[in-house]
Chain A
Amino acid sequence: MSAQDADLIDAAPVARSSLLRIWLGRLEGPQTFGRGPAFWAVAALVVVGAAVWPLFTDGYTVGNAAYFMVWTFMAMGLGVVWGYCGALSFGQTAFFGVAGYSYGVLTINIGDAYGFTLVALALSVVIAALVAAVIGYFMFFGRIKGVFVGIVTLSVTLVFETFMAQTAAPQWRIGDARLNGFNGMSGMPPLTVPWFGGDVVLYPDPPLFWVLLGLNVLVWLGLRMALNAPFGNVLVAIRENPERAEMLGYDVRVYQVIAFTLGGALAGLSGALYTAWGQYITPSSMGLTAAALPIVWVAVGGRSDITATLLGTLLVLAGFQTLTIYGSQYALVVMGALLLLVVLAAPQGVVLGAMRLLARLGGRGR
Chain B
Amino acid sequence: MDVVSTVFSFAYQFGDAFAFLVISAAGLAVIFGMMGVINLAHGEFIMCGAYVTVAASRIGAPLPLAILCGALVAGLVGMAVERLVIRRLYHRPLDTIVATWGMSLIATQGTLIVLGSTMQGIGTPLGSVAIAGGAYSAYRLVLMAAAIALLVGLWLLFYRTRWGVLARATIQAPHMARALGVETGRVYGMTFGLGAALAGLAGGLYAPTMTMVPTMGATFIVESFVTVVVGGADIFLGAAPAAAILAVIRAGLTAWQGQLFGQIGLLLAVIVVIRLMPGGLSGWLAARARR
Is B24 in contact with chain A by the CB < 8 A criterion? no
Name A329's contact: one of B38, B101, B109, B221 (CB within 8 Å): B109
User: In the complex, what residues of B have CB within 8 A of residue A152's CB?
Assistant: 270-271, 274-275
With an 8 A cutoff between CB atoms, is B216 at the interface?
A: no
Residues of A within 8 A of B170 (CB): none
- A88-B271 in contact (CB<8A): no
Contact B274 A333 (CB under 8 A): no
Q: How far is the CA of A332 from the CA of B271 in the complex (A)?
A: 32
CA–CA, A247 to B38, complex, Å? 30
A-B contact count (CB 8 A): 117
CB of B260 within 8 A of CB of A148, answer no
Question: Residue of A at shortest CB range from B226?
Answer: A155
CB neighbours of B264 from chain A (8 A): 159, 162-163
Contact A339 B263 (CB under 8 A): no
Bound together, the chains give a CA A147 to CA B96 distance in angstroms of: 11
B101 / chain A contacts, CB cutoff of 8 Å: 292, 295-296, 336, 339
Pairwise interchain contact B275-A142, C-beta atoms closer than 8 A: yes
A116 to B110, CA, bound (A): 47
Given contacts A148-B229, A166-B260, A344-B99, contact A288 B267 (CB under 8 A): no
Q: Check if A143 is an interface residue, CB within 8 A of chain B.
A: yes
Closest to B112 in A: A329
Residues of chain B contacted by A329 (CB below 8 angstroms): 109, 112-113
Say yes or no for A138: interface residue by CB 8 A criterion: yes
In the bound assembly, the distance between CA atoms of A317 and B258 in angstroms comes to 38
List residues 305-348 of chain A with CB under 8 A from any CB of chain B. 329-333, 335-340, 342-344, 347
CB distance from B165 to the nearest CB of A (A): 27
**Is B278 part of the contact surface with A, judged by Cβ < 8 Å?**
yes
CB-CB under 8 A for A332 and B105, given A151-B274, A152-B274, A343-B89: yes
A158 contacts partner chain B, Cβ-Cβ < 8 Å: yes
B102, B112, B229, B268: most-surrounded residue (chain A CB, <10 A): B102
Given A329-B113, A343-B89, A337-B271 contact (CB < 8 Å)? no
Contact A159 B268 (CB under 8 A): yes
B93 within 8 A of A: yes
Contact A333 B271 (CB under 8 A): no
CB distance B106 to A336 under 8 Å? yes
**Interface residues of A, dominant DSSP:** helix
Q: How far is the CB of B115 from chain A (nearest CB, A)?
A: 13
CB contact between B271 and one of A156, A162, A163 (< 8 Å): that residue: A156
Tell me the smallest distance from the CB of B23 to a CB of chain A, in Å. 20
Which residues of chain A are near B226, meaning CB under 8 Å?
155
List the B side residues contacting A299 at CB < 8 Å: 95, 98
Interface size on B, residues (CB 8 A): 43
Q: Which residue of B lies closest to A163 (CB)?
A: B264
Q: Is A47 part of the contact surface with B, judged by Cβ < 8 Å?
A: no
User: How far is the CB of A102 from the nearest CB of chain B, in Å?
Assistant: 20
B156 at the interface (CB under 8 A from A): no
A3 within 8 A of B: no
A118 within 8 A of B: no
Whether B85 pairs with A340 at a CB distance below 8 angstroms is yes
CB distance from B179 to the nearest CB of A (A): 27
Chain B residues within an 8 Å CB radius of A162: 260, 263-264, 267
Contacts of A347 in B (CB 8 A): 92, 95
Contact yes or no, A333 B109, CB < 8 A: yes
What residues of A have a CB within 8 angstroms of the CB of B263 in the complex? 162
Task: Check A9 for interface membership: any CB of B closer than 8 A.
Answer: no
Bound complex: CA of A342 vs CA of B261, how far in Å? 39
User: A165 near B: Cβ within 8 Å?
Assistant: yes
A357 at the interface (CB under 8 A from B): no
A144 contacts chain B at the CB level, 8 A cutoff: yes
Question: What is the CA–CA distance of A288 and B224 in the complex, to the nearest angstrom?
Answer: 14
Q: B222 within 8 Å of A by Cβ?
A: yes
Structural contact, A295 and B106, CB atoms closer than 8 A: no
- Please tell me if B97 contacts chain A, counting CB pairs below 8 Å: yes
Between A and B, 16 residue pairs with Cβ closer than 8 Å are A88-B97, A144-B278, A147-B93, A148-B278, A151-B270, A155-B226, A155-B267, A155-B270, A162-B264, A163-B260, A288-B222, A295-B97, A336-B103, A336-B106, A337-B102, A339-B105
Query: Can you add 15 more A-B contacts, CB < 8 Å, to A163-B260, A330-B109?
Result: A90-B97, A138-B275, A150-B94, A150-B97, A151-B274, A163-B264, A165-B260, A288-B222, A296-B98, A296-B101, A332-B109, A333-B110, A336-B103, A336-B107, A340-B106
Give the B-binding residues of A (Cβ under 8 A).
82, 88, 90, 138-139, 142-144, 146-148, 150-152, 154-156, 158-159, 162-163, 165-166, 288, 292, 295-296, 299, 329-333, 335-340, 342-344, 347
Closest 3 CB pairs of A and B: A339-B102, A336-B105, A336-B106
